[in-house]
Chain A
Amino acid sequence: MQFRLEKRREPSRVVLYSAPLIAVLLTMFFGAIIFSAIGYDGVGAVREIFLTPITNSLKWQDLAVKASPLIIIGVGLSIAYRANVWNIGAEGQYIMGGLAATWVALLTHGMGGFWILPAMMVAGFLGGAAYAAIPAFFKTRLNVNEILTSLMLTYASVQLIYYLVRAPWKDPMGMGFPQTRRFASEALLPNIVPGTIVHAGVPIAIIVALVAWFVMSRSVFGYQVKVVGSAPHAARYGGFSENKTIWLALLLSGALAGFAGALEVSGPFQRMVPGFPTNYGFTAIIVAFLGRLNPLGVIFAGIIMAITFVGGEVAQTTIGLPSSASGIFQSMMLFFLLAGDILVRYRLKRVAPQGEARA
């Protein structure tokens, strides 16, 4: 028996929206097999990574805290990718947002005032946007590939953290550790559920996603992004500027990544440390795809990714699975998702073997 791909008349919505779920299930299935094959407790690994964070209510606050930056960055990336703008430097923009917020926090240290935290958020926004403006400038002016520029800037920004926390921003009371001082209480993100680590960033992430969904699905701006992304020539014919869209896509995705950085540094971290880059910016790429470049989907994808992070930590302590295992699971999910994409436009058709056809 042979199979053949046959083009569908219309792309299948069923496949489009069920593919992420199927990708997750396939990842659990094959993940169990692969990890068993290399000598770990494969079934246990899948259980701890994918199920424990959901079933154990103590882990929910971790999920919320891990998911919110992923969602915020993922929303921005989903908009950029819709515009066919491949910003893969969100990690760098996240770092710059965090650094900008840190800068405000250090500068205002000792001054009281309710305005400090908002100022840090704005700084994070601007810091991320400014860093994303570099690839935007080169892309629109000289057609320099934004994938490479945004990624190279990420590597550079990591070095910038190292430099700042080692020299000018180093905490004088830090006993030689390369880190800044702990932020003053005015510069810390408030907890919204007493007794947990759930901070204000969690509801903000949901609001960001909802607003982005509304804008993308209903507004002319969302329309513009989608036209430029799927048919730039048609966009020009329709009166939309490709360059303007590239700028907006990069600035917006950079700003959101920077905003997430500001939230993280003022929330969970409370200071700038060399370990601040936690790969949220890269994982958010998977989040954007798994969420089908749709802000509502990004909420769910962000939670799924957070599950693998939290679950990865659980598995590390309970069954001794290395922390890198979650990276494998995450990339497997993306592989399965991308593999399944062909079935959105094509269907598998059974064909009789050659020869019988011409009876």
Chain B
Amino acid sequence: MPNRLELSGITKQFPGVLANDNVSFAVKPGEIHALLGENGAGKSTLVKMIYGIMQPDAGEIRWNGEPVVVPNPKAARKFGIGMVFQHFSLFEALTVLENIALGMDAKVPSRELEARIREVMATYGLALDPHRTVATLSVGERQRIEIVRALLLNPQLLIMDEPTSVLTPQEVEQLFTVLRKLAAEGCSILYISHKLHEIKALCDVATILRGGKLVDTCDPKQETSRSMAEKMIGSGLKDIVKPEGRSFGTPKLVVNRLSTLSTGHFDIPVRNVSFTVRAGEILGIAGVAGNGQNALLDALSGEVRSDDRDAISIDGLGIGGMDTTERRRHGLCAVPEERNGHAAVGDFSLSDNSVLTARDRLGMVVMGLINSGAARTYTGRVIADFAVKALGPASTAGSLSGGNLQKYIMGREILQKPSVLVVSQPTWGVDAGAAAAIHQALVDLAAAGSAIVVISQDLDELRALADTLAVINMGELSAARPVKDFSVEEIGLLMGGVHGEAAA
């Protein structure tokens, strides 16, 4: 039997980057094939070419043994290639049925379509009401729409782009069941991820990319996580250096029964959240996206103020009623998840972006006028200390890559030496080297006596970084405990909403 998909010598050049350099590998029928690599390794570009969103500059794609050109996604679907994107291409205001109908190339009467949807859902155990509006669905349910949409085309190859980044461990298990069943029926699966334990659990073959080049094609079950990670990242892994035997000081940030109001349908509010972070301590907050993390960050940073002055206090001073500027004066800095447009202004120079949060703490304002010299000097320091790849303080924030912008933002806050720092997703989309540098900077800041809160969906990150851990689910926060007391299973249960001692 010929290979389902075979790539040979695929090359794709972007201005300034060789995204794929002579990549060749094959996927057999019924095989679950992992495509493994860091952010920026070229995984997305590669599958975009398979799915017809982009065209390779050189190389050949063979489909069931025949050389083919995939001019567009429609053609890809015609071949029998389905794809589930990392960022769902869903329409919030439309129903599940309408969303699926939009993804169908052939015009199917909606009654017939609904019947087929119900059939597919029954076959694979995917529960979903076709008439619900997408805006009311959870992230896991939304992913199911994408999967159903792909399955309706009876694909011979299903591409899954980072499908588990938004799921609880339990939802991940359900997804794997579906994928294994599909593979058993002969559908090949190209599974893109950088989560090594998932790949070991699910995949038959793994192709590893690094810097656009194919590094290795291996059997993940024969490899250790560490050996795959080294292939993925290259020059040996750097561990975070945590000073041994640290002791924590007095409580610095105390949050006492903090609740927020509902703001919109993008995130749910937090209810009765309480925790304490001591000087030198890093508290990790784990949870699946959309469980109140944004509301929590906004409430802590001061973007949303609390009616209760004492809901949040620093060194015993109630700051609940203060805005972000006043909180910064009292030593609390924060970094939201969204970099461009929230933590930084894309159209502004880095220097002007420094004015955004550092103007008061670093004396950049004199009598209502901005001292742009001071802003430039400080920005230069951030660029140097955090190895930000930018032409200089005058570069616009929007011209930086995601990872570099994140380094700049983290540097901008950390160099202000805040006594309390709250960060969300500090290394999302950042390459491994930069992530390690950011982690080290956070650990060093804590060692210097600051209290740090890290909100993240990356359990590996939290387990490496945090001293204590709490889990947020549906706007409620579990009790914080030393991170080493948690097992992955327990965190997973908490993330899925099983609370209390029964789970412990």
Contacts and interface: CB of A to CB of B under 8 A. Distances in A.
Direct contact of A and B (CB under 8 A): yes
Contacts of A10: 395-396, 399
Residue of A231, A237, A358 contacting most chain B CB atoms (<10 Å): A237
Contacts of A231: 341-342, 345-347
A354 B223 CA distance: 43
Contacts of A348: none
A357 interface: yes
Interface string A7-32: 00111000000000000000000000
Contacts of B345: 227, 230-231, 234
Interface string B11-30: 00001000000000000000
A219 interface: yes
Contact of A238 (B15, B57, B338, B356): B356
A234 B356 contact: yes
A239 interface: yes
A223 B351 CA distance: 12
A24 to B, nearest CB: 25
Contact of A237 (B58, B347, B357, B369): B357
A221 interface: yes
Interface stretch (B156-164, B169-177, B322-330): B322-330
A221 B368 CA distance: 8
B357 A238 contact: yes
Looking at chain A, what size class is its interface with the partner chain? Answer: 20 to 34
B369 A9 contact: no
Contacts of A341: none
Interface string B52-89: 00011110000000000000000000000000000000
B341 A234 contact: yes
Contacts of B359: 220
A250 B56 CA distance: 51
A350 interface: no
A9 B342 contact: no
Interface string B346-357: 111000100111
B334 to A, nearest CB: 8
Interface string A272-313: 000000000000000000000000000000000000000000
B347 to A, nearest CB: 5
B336 A237 contact: yes
Given A6-B15, A10-B396, A219-B368, A234 B328 contact: no
A218 B343 CA distance: 22
A354 to B, nearest CB: 9
A239 B343 CA distance: 12
A234 B303 CA distance: 10
Contacts of B34: none
Interface in B353-373: 355-357, 359, 365, 368-370, 372
A223 B352 contact: yes
B348 A237 contact: no
B301 interface: yes
Interface in B250-296: none
B344 interface: yes
A220 B356 contact: no
A236 B399 contact: no
Contact of B369 (A6, A220, A226, A236): A220
Interface string B177-217: 00000000000000000000000000000000000000000
The 5 closest A-B pairs by CB, nearest first: A239-B325, A238-B356, A239-B324, A231-B345, A233-B342
Given A239-B324, A239-B328, 18 more contacts: A10-B396, A11-B347, A219-B368, A219-B370, A220-B359, A220-B369, A223-B355, A226-B348, A227-B348, A230-B345, A231-B342, A231-B345, A231-B346, A234-B345, A237-B336, A237-B356, A237-B357, A358-B57
12 contacts: A218-B369, A218-B370, A218-B372, A219-B369, A227-B345, A230-B348, A231-B347, A234-B342, A237-B301, A237-B342, A358-B56, A358-B58
